[in-house]
Chain A
Amino acid sequence: MKINGNTLATLKRGQKGIIQSVDAVDPQVQRLMVLGLVEGAEVEHASSAIGGDPMEFRLFGCGISLRQEHAKFFKVSPVAAGD
């Protein structure tokens, strides 16, 4: 499985990815994990606000928004488009 430094922050709009690892040191990142952003979860980059920050991800049908500075702690493997 290729990871190649892809994180939630590098997912393009409409692109899906599966979270591979989370750097959980930041309490804010831990909070995001409680909201369901953990290893194995499939997420889709749904939108960004003006300037690309914060970003909205769709996770099992629910929307969750976070800033790029936190998104980079979530390593993902992108899922091929059209899936």
Chain B
Amino acid sequence: MTKPSEIRIPANEINIARRTDASIAVVGNPNSGKSTLFNRLTGLKQRIGNYPGVTVERHIGILKVDDVSVELVDLPGTHSLSAHSLEEHIAVDVIFGRMQGTKKPDGILAVLDATNLYQGLFLVQQLIDLRMPTIIALTMTDAAETSGVGIDIERLRETLGGVPVYPVVATTGAGLDRLRHAIAEMPSLAPPERIVVWPELTEVAGKLARDAKEPLRFAELERLLIDGATDANRLFLEKLSDDAQKNLEAERDSLFGFEPPIARDARIRYAWVREVLAEVQSSVPRFYSWRTHITDFLNRPIPGTIGLFVVMAIVFQAVFAWATPLMDLIDAAAATLGAGVIQVFGEGAVSSLIADGIIAGVGSVVIFLPQILILFLFIILLEDSGYLARAAYLMDRAMHSVGLSGQSIIPMISSFACAVPGIMATRVIPNRRDRIATILAAPFMTCSARLPVYALLIAAFVPAQQIGFMNLQGLVLFGLYLFGIVAGILTALLIRKTALRGPKPPFALMLPEFRRPNLQTVLIQLLGRAKVFLYRAGTVIFAVAIIVWALAYYPRSEMLAPEVEQQKGIAAYTLSGEELAAEYQRIENVAAAAQMEQSWLGRAGHFVEPVFAPLGWDWRVSSAVIAGFPAREVVIAVLGTVYAVGDEADEGTLSGRLKASTWPNGDRVFTLPMVVGLLIFYACCLQCAATLAVIRRETNSWRWPVFAWLYMTTIGYVGALLAFQLGSA
């Protein structure tokens, strides 16, 4: 029985008792298994947002143990508290509690990779200097054991100032329960004892902190001495006494002399790490069986490079082949749904809006969900297995010769799914010129929204011949992907030779061991991507579908309806049965096409037709292209509508209509040169408002999105013009 007094505990006391406010920062090296552990601990109870002013994703999850809930913040991976890249700056800012909009963490969950204690301990030692409640999750202990590394956990704990160490295997879940309870108890945990690894610095820090206006933590003094009075450290500087503020530079000079502080920091701490390793680790980790084989094979330059191309070819083949049955299913469902709506509501503006506008428009986009998921599945698998880093390594020399570094390869490969996450992934590139050149090259990569247009035109105009293990259609698709890559690389080269001239970018990259990706992590990421895509389909594309529908539906022609009735009447005299039904259908299709031609969209298409006529496009293609400028995936929906196929707006019929469509003089519109030109136009043109918005956000200026749009549209137009004019000549 519950006593009433227990119910009347004030809410704030419950919070204290249950510590629901506690926030724990999850900190670790990149590739330390940090995100896998975070996903294991929080499951689907996660929020993904952005840090203010930047596009680094903020992952927050809730960990519940019994009636205690704790907030976990998964920070970007970092090697040191001396931040280097934008992501490292964010991690460090959150740890020090100086990140706007994110509260200071109450404790640190340090993720330490048992197979890479060397780099891991370098960071953990700095975390201990923070003197905050800290526990260590020792991940990949299974892999460490297999590769013959024994770790003396008790000794490790002693060397690290008494920090509790919890061995876990995130992939199987072993040890997770104990870790969960430890995290829940963490806010009441005593901070670790300080380990003095750098006595000179400790002494100078003590001197500096004398008479300070506000107390400083040792870690804050460390940042001031090592990184200097940077903007990020201003808050720490202001806590010092006026004298100490003035003397900071002199103290740093006497401490470091001519040696770069970062170099000294690395020398001293890694010397300490080696001492610890000698005590706690029984042997240096070795690569084991299947990893050794894969790594050795891919380590040979030529098989490695060939392997990379084979992997890419398999991905594209899978995207094209595996998705087809699922897409047919969605297609059939949308058609049935649309037909059902017309049946229930009858013909009219409302049912046309629902069936031809919303269902046909959104359906023609949702149909690409299978392809996008398959593509993202591969990208996530390649990333989590450590292969993408190897791709960056293998491609570095090639990228170097065009003025980029291997690090640009990851954003570019991501851009094959969508340029928006691809451009966001450029934040791992520290050099600004390199980053902007990559951002401008990324939209050339064939994104999943270009796929529908390619798929439609290829299915309609390229014969399905088998050539080796691929068919000709797949080969043409592969060619279009290559075209995008070449165009993107040439763009980067051009921009690095002109507007962004400068020294070639540096390159240093950790090459993680190959590892089996964790199913749960892969699924959580995949689900996140699906959500983002469906959200777009439900908002932007939904709105565009309605607008395009209205532009194509209105104004209604007064003349048409009586004329249709009259023709139907004539047909009824001469025909009967199925022939009559077919004739009715034909009359209605002709009427729909006539309606479309005099609608706002049709008029706009006619208006711009002279601009696109040199490319061999008629008003219908022109109006679909115009409608596609906010989001290129809309173009299929619009083509479906303008080609007046009504309820039969599935691709098969649409491609048939495209093949059959003619100019008033009877010549075919979709000739080979025209189709090639259209493909080139789509391969180049930047028809995506979301990409423009993300370029604006990432470069923090309108200059680059405007430039990218003008540049890409011009190339697309000129390319299509050349293809059509030269091909038709």
Contact = CB atoms under 8 A, between A and B. Distances in A.
Nearest to B261: A30
A32 B260 CA distance: 13
Contact of B263 (A30, A47, A60): A30
A38 B508 contact: no
A71 B621 CA distance: 55
A24 interface: yes
B23 to A, nearest CB: 27
Contacts of B510: 35, 62-65
A50 to B, nearest CB: 4
Nearest to A64: B510
Contact of A54 (B271, B287, B396, B513): B396
Q: Indicate the member of A28, A33, A49, A53 with the most B CB atoms within 10 Å.
A: A49
B117 interface: yes
A31 B117 CA distance: 18
Interface string B96-133: 00000000000000000001111100100000000000
B106 to A, nearest CB: 28
A64 B509 contact: yes
Q: Kindly state the interface size class of chain B when it binds its partner.
A: 35 or more
Interface string A13-39: 000000000101101111111111011
Contacts of B286: 61
Contact of A25 (B260, B265, B266, B507): B260
A34 B83 CA distance: 10
Given A28-B508, A34-B79, A67 B118 contact: no
Interface stretch (B158-166, B301-309, B371-379, B446-454): B301-309
B397 A59 contact: no
Contacts of A31: 84, 262, 506, 508
B43 interface: no
A44 B613 CA distance: 62
A41 interface: yes
Interface in B234-283: 259-260, 262-263, 265-267, 270-271, 274, 277
Contacts of B266: 30, 33-34, 36, 38
A55 B397 CA distance: 10
Contacts of B80: 34
B557 to A, nearest CB: 64
Contact of B262 (A33, A49, A53): A33
Contact of B511 (A22, A30, A56, A67): A56
Interface string B380-417: 00000000000001111100100000100000000000
A30 B507 contact: no
Contacts of B262: 24, 30-31, 33-34
B284 A60 contact: yes
B508 A60 contact: no
Please indicate which of the listed interface residues A27, A41, A63 has the most CB atoms of chain B within 10 Å of its own CB: A63
A35 B79 contact: yes
A48 B100 CA distance: 43
A61 B267 contact: no
A65 B84 contact: no
A83 to B, nearest CB: 12
A51 B259 CA distance: 34
B507 A60 contact: no
A52 to B, nearest CB: 8
Contacts of B517: none
B20 interface: no
B175 interface: no
Contacts of A22: 263
Contacts of B147: 61
Given A34-B266, A36-B119, A60 B259 contact: no
B284 to A, nearest CB: 6
Given A24-B259, A49-B304, A56-B299, A65 B116 contact: no
Interface in B305-349: 305
Nearest to A55: B393
A60 B277 contact: yes
Given A47-B301, A50-B301, A36 B270 contact: yes
Nearest to B393: A65
A64 B511 contact: yes
Given A59-B118, A60-B284, A64-B511, A49 B84 contact: no
Contact of A50 (B271, B397, B512): B397
Contacts of B589: none
Contact of B271 (A40, A46, A60, A65): A40
Contacts of A53: 396-397, 400
Nearest to B271: A40
Contacts of A25: 260
The 10 A-B pairs with the shortest beta carbon distances in the complex, nearest first, are A63-B511, A61-B285, A47-B299, A60-B118, A24-B263, A33-B266, A28-B506, A50-B301, A30-B262, A38-B270
11 contacts: A25-B260, A34-B262, A36-B118, A36-B266, A40-B274, A50-B302, A51-B301, A61-B286, A64-B509, A65-B406, A65-B507
Given A28-B508, A36-B266, 11 more contacts: A28-B506, A31-B508, A33-B267, A35-B508, A38-B270, A40-B274, A49-B395, A60-B116, A64-B510, A65-B509, A70-B508
Interface of B: 79-80, 82, 84, 115-119, 122, 147, 149, 259-260, 262-263, 265-267, 270-271, 274, 277, 284-287, 299-302, 304-305, 393-397, 400, 406, 506-513
